[in-house]
Amino acid sequence: MYNSLTRIQNTFGFFTTVAFVVAALIAASDLITPRTPTAGLLAPTNVQVVKGRPHYYSSKKEEYAIIKFSLDADLSSLFTWNTKQLFVYVTAEWPGPGNATNEAVIWDSIITNPSADHLQNIGPVAMKKLKRSAEGKTIDPSRGLLKLRNQKPKYQITHPSSRIAEKEDVTLKLHYNVQPWVGLLTWNQGQDIGPWKKLAGGISKTFNLPALKKKDAQKKKST
């Protein structure tokens, strides 16, 4: 500490230690914050299976399931000071041969905490609106309240075999992934862990996918 340079070095060195310890404490503060996510309703509202191509120039034809759904969920307890964003996604699951389970994402959404709004990849107008929606708030748990009605899926799903029509025992499941500013990524867990409760609900009743929609039959009806 006898000249300026050693004082800069020593002070910066200890600053890195303090910063690391504070970051560890922030990550640990998540562990004592209760998480009580609930999902009231998750149900398919309209299910169709159609034929299509994976891309425009493909000669391969595949069957695609288009599952519209309704969802009520309260994920507001997942928003704390250390939450950067929440990734919410809905999967469709159906049993395969043997003990295999097929799983495909049909819809997802990124919900940012106000502290991370600037990271959202949206246009300037939508960004302004998003920022204004949480003006003066450091966290906004109300963003965790999801209410979707007859939501169109973002992804139409198929299967490596290209066949998905008339599959039985399909369920929809809600998942989430909490992405913190510091700490580990956490997903919805299968059981209660301390103050983190498992997601209540979030699984739909089983349903069957319908038979392939015939284009000819539809045309005949419409004419």
Partner 1 sequence: MADVLDQVRDVVDGQIDFEGQKITELLATILLVISGALSFFVGYILQDIKLAVYVGLGGTALTFLAVVPPWPFYNKNPVKWLPAGYAADLAASKSSQ
Residues that bind partner 1 (CB under 8 A): 1-4, 7-8, 10-11, 14-15, 18-19, 21-22, 25-26, 29, 80-82, 115, 138-139, 181
Q: Smallest gap, in angstroms, from Cβ of residue 80 to partner 1?
A: 7
Closer to partner 1 at the Cβ: 96 or 195? 195
**Which of 27, 50 has the CB closer to partner 1?**
27
Residue type, 154: K
Nearer to partner 1, 10 or 218 (CB): 10
Torsion of CA 133, 138, 141, 144, to 10 degrees: 60
Which DSSP state fits 109? E
Q: Over the range 68-99, which residues count as b (16 or more CB within 10 Å of their CB) and which as e?
A: bbbbbbbbbbbbbebbebbebbbbbbbeeeee
What token pair was written down for 30?
């998540």
Q: Which is nearer to partner 1, 44 or 180 (CB)?
A: 180
- CA 108, 112, 116, 120 torsion-angle sign: positive
State which residue, 95 or 141, has the beta carbon closest to partner 1: 141
The CB-of-12 to partner 1 minimum distance in angstroms stands at 8
- Beta-sheet pairing, 83-95 with 171-180: antiparallel
Instruction: Give me the amino acid identity at 205.
Output: K
